[in-house]
Structure 1
């Protein structure tokens, strides 16, 4: 217990920075006031980062004490986020964390909103913040990075030279839009574009810009029914195997028993051909986040069709 207490008195368990101001709630698990402010104010998360207990109130103190030992009703409080301060100096440091201050001007200029600082940096210094990082990363204004136009383009495509954990914002080549990371790109691809549920179940991550290209994939790599009402339906008229396809035709499109019997008939043909090298000229386009797909996904062969089809589907390659 003594060793744990000494660790608490030296470093924050979240950011590992030296503790100068403690933040603690009723569970008495201290973190630094910077991490607590980021959680409660920027991320609107009011639980303890150590034990996950919900904290309706948090106390900022300079010397570690038990939360219950201080009368909160006598302390200065920031009502919106229920943060209590033992003295005015700690409150001033808390307010400083939330300032939007110009990092370039010799006489520091402070703005009430980050949007105002952004406008100032753009007009006065021709420096820009990455919009994707600003939207998704909940960090303080003084932690934001500012770029000139050239460096911003490099940040978006390849990342920052001083940050090896960021390798750029991946691009959706259907929409020509970038996303924060591969997880966000994958969410977009699955939400706004199409994928083959057969190939997806087999572990493939191949996506199509719209249903027209997906239906071509169904037709060429699987079995697609285009008779009657099936011609206007989506997904339900595609089948993985010939047996499933024949069974569907027998039940849905047979006019009499003879036709149903014929639809259930499956021709089995065996042929042995030399193994062919896969070509890489159909259906996909190479890129950092996509690998060039091979034509003919093993089933029924992909036609070397129109130029339009080469823009229709992409295979997603998740970076490690």
Structure 2
């Protein structure tokens, strides 16, 4: 695997590396990491690499810059001495064509227009420029009747030009089942079966992690059931639904003050009686209260 990228496993044709000199990752993966994820660490040793160098991968003959301090310090986008500098990656290239290719991948552009190579009246190629993703999405809809999946746009760590484009029907199929024509074959989808949806809000999320975060913050689970059945999660839309579950399956304190506090619920009847004696037994005599507590304690331990 020495001739393959350590991240994507594709043939290593162009390499990008920092002062740590690890030359095992391709320039596309490094560009994606630095531009999309805003992560400037080396993929191999996790060393912060503020500046990187991009060159042709030629095995033992790969061009090596041992002293990054020797590279120009005051730079701007474009040609700098014998190199080309890309601001978004903070990278020097020694090949102008590869520099232009990576720069194009980082550009906010319409892939449909790029494929069509639209021509102006004078025959020159026109490249539409967009200030933000909203403008690009508007252009895709009004010009091409196409959509990007907003969930993939946020969750997939790829360049804009790598995002898939869907018709409205294809987008709905992509979200619901993941097997639209654009998503490719079953092997190409890699097990993707649509974006998971919250059954209460009817809102889709990018993946299971995002759905879990939503369910944990916006909806409710029973802490008693979780103790009894670790790893099993049953969610309730709101606390009112959870309170019904408490009342039907467990022992909920029906005192107005406890109902207002919420979550005053017990696993066993003996625990409930102990709570009532401790919190609501103010009218009992001391001897009756102590006797009740002793009985509850014995019942809890026997349970």
TM-score range, shorter chain: 0.7 to 0.9
2:33 counterpart of 1:33: no
Alignment-derived partner of residue 139 in structure 1: 158
2:255 counterpart of 1:245: no
Alignment-derived partner of residue 103 in structure 1: 112
2:90 counterpart of 1:90: no
Distance 1:17 1:168, change over 3 A: same
Q: Which is bigger in relative contact order (C-alpha 8 A, separation at least 6)?
A: 1
- Can you give the 5+ residue segments of structure 2 that lack an aligned partner in the other structure? 73-80, 119-126
Moved over 6 A (4+): none
Deviation at 1:258, TM superposition (A): 5.3
Taking the TM superposition and a 5 Å limit, the aligned residue runs for 1:40-59 are: 40-59=34-53
Provide the aligned length of Structure 1 versus Structure 2. Answer: 260
Of stretches 113-122 and 51-60 in structure 1, the one that deviates more from structure 2 is: 113-122
Does the CA contact (< 8 Å) of 1:102 and 1:121 recur in 2? no
| TM-score between both structures, scaled by the size of structure 2 | 0.78
Taking the TM superposition and a 5 Å limit, the aligned residue runs for 1:1-320 are: 7-8=1-2, 10-30=3-23, 31-63=25-57, 64-69=62-67, 71-73=70-72, 75-99=83-107, 100-103=109-112, 106-108=116-118, 109-112=127-130, 113-160=132-179, 161-162=184-185, 163-201=189-227, 202-203=229-230, 204-235=232-263, 237-255=264-282, 256=284, 257=286, 260=289, 261-262=291-292, 265=295
- Provide Cα deviations, 1:199-251, integer angstroms capped at 9, x if missing partner: 1222221111111111111111111112252121111x111122221221111
User: 2: distance between equivalents of 1:101 and 1:265?
Assistant: 75
Structure with a larger share of its residues in helix: 2
Distance 1:244 1:66, change over 3 A: farther
The Cα RMSD (Å) is 2.3
Of stretches 121-130 and 187-196 in structure 1, the one that deviates more from structure 2 is: 121-130
User: 2: distance between equivalents of 1:78 and 1:106?
Assistant: 26
